[in-house]
Each structure stands twice: as C-alpha cells, then as structure tokens.
Structure 1
Amino acid sequence: MDNKNLIRAAFEARGRAYTPYSHFQVGAALLSADGQLFQGCNIENASYGVSNCAERTALFKAVSEGVREFSKIAIVGGPEGAEHFSICEPCGICRQALAEFCDIDRFTVLLAKSEEDYEEYLLCELLPHAFLPAHLGK
C-alpha cells in the first residue's frame, strides 16, 4: 500500500474517534509486513487512565488477530471539526508499544497533515535508546 492510501485510511479511522473530553481526534493506519491494514482511533474514558491512543488501538487489533510483523504506520490528528491539520507525533507509550513488534531500524512512521503533506521517520529516530525484548535476554 502506498503512503497516500495509508494516510487516507488513517484519516478514515480518525473519523471514528471517541473524544468527548479532549475533542482531539487521532487516527492511525498500521500496515503489516504481509500487507494487511489495521485501523485505530483514540478512545477516551471518563476515567482518563482508561483511555487508549489510536496507534495502540490499531496495534492491539492486529496482535489480537495473530499479526506480529509490521512495515509502517500513518498517524493523523487534530481538534474535532478541524479542516487543517498539524503533525501529530505518537506518545512515548505508543512508540514503546510499536517497538515491541517492529524492527525499529526499518519500521516507517508517517506523520501527516494531509495525503500529500507528511513527514516520514524510522521508529528508531522517534525512540532512540529503546527498551527492547533483547534487553531482557529474549
């Protein structure tokens, strides 16, 4: 899947966000190594700690379906009702969650304002000195 279609899928997922408290909607589209697409949105809760980010929603959906290898993710976010978007970086928890299942030196992260306007990073650039399974002797 090309970057434009992956970003489009992230915007689609953003439209399903449940954000009654922050009104900041995030969408993610995660592509597996074998080409499967998993979408996620942020889901808030009145008990804020129960809330979940879009990136982890997509990742957990994929892992729960038995998928463990990924190539890239597109992330979009902005205030509810926004017509123009800024870059929306993944939080530290999401970066760490992705590092559990992704080759941080190859996994691509697309941070998009639109289908045509986006920044591209490797996960290792966003999470230097990651704590990886290898640190546990795994």
Structure 2
Amino acid sequence: MTVVMTIVLLLVGGAIGFFAGRTLSASAKENKELAEQVSQTEATLSQYQNDVAEHLENSATLLEQMNTTCQNAMKQMEQSTALLQRATPAEKDAMPFFSHETQEQLAQTVKLRHEKKESVEHDDMTEAPLDYSGNPSGLFDDKKQSVTNAE
C-alpha cells in the first residue's frame, strides 16, 4: 500500500507542480511584458522631454532674435526722429507738402466756395417745402391709387 500511496502522491505532486509551473511562468511572461512596456514608456518619455527641451531652446532663440530686431527698429526710429527734429524751419519750407500749382488750385477752390456762401441771400420763402406742398399726392391715404403708367 505504501507503493500505491507513493505513486498517488507522486502523481498528485506532479500535477500540482505542473499547474504551479504554468501559473508561475504566466506571471513571469506578464512581468516580462510589463517590463517591456515600462522600458518603452520610459523611452517615449525621454524622447518627449528631448523634444520639449529642443522646442524651448528654439523658442528662446527666436525670442532673442525678435528682441534684437525690435531694438534695431527702435534705434532706427530714434535716429529718424532726431533727423526730423534737427530740420530747420527753412528746410521745412524748402519742400512743401503740395506743389505750388496744387496750392494755387486749392486756394482758388476755397475762394469759390466762400464766394458761393456769401452770394446766397436769405430770400423770403413764400413757397412751402415739397414735403408740405399744397397739392398732396395722396400716396399715404388709405384710398386705392390709380396706376399712371399702365399699358
């Protein structure tokens, strides 16, 4: 009976060992897959950090270039302003905004306009404005209007 018992225990132990090995090897596979995922995620994170660092470096370079350009523009504006302020009144009159002919034409136009305004006299207006004429058209009456251009 010990022999039978030994064989049964050996078979039961083998079955338990078989299932335990399978279970442990499955968890080992899962652990291996998880380790691979972790390494991929770390590689992705590292690449992302490098991309962000490169982007920030490029942004800083562009901002520095913008700052330099703005400073150059400000210097140029200051120089232009200084040149305009140094201009003497004789230099300002030397180059008028309009040409001589244009100035004469503008002066004549202004005179004509002032003459027209002065020539208009206030006559006694005996006639009412057309809005209030003595012959109303009846357009806004409730009566039906005849069509004058009917064919």
The TM-score bracket by the shorter chain reads: under 0.3
TM-score normalised over the length of structure 2: 0.13
Query: Which of the pair has more CA radius of gyration?
Result: 2
Which structure dedicates a bigger proportion of its chain to strand? 1
TM-score normalised over the length of structure 1: 0.15
Q: Which has the higher contact order (CA 8 A, sep 6+)?
A: 1
Which structure dedicates a bigger proportion of its chain to helix? 2
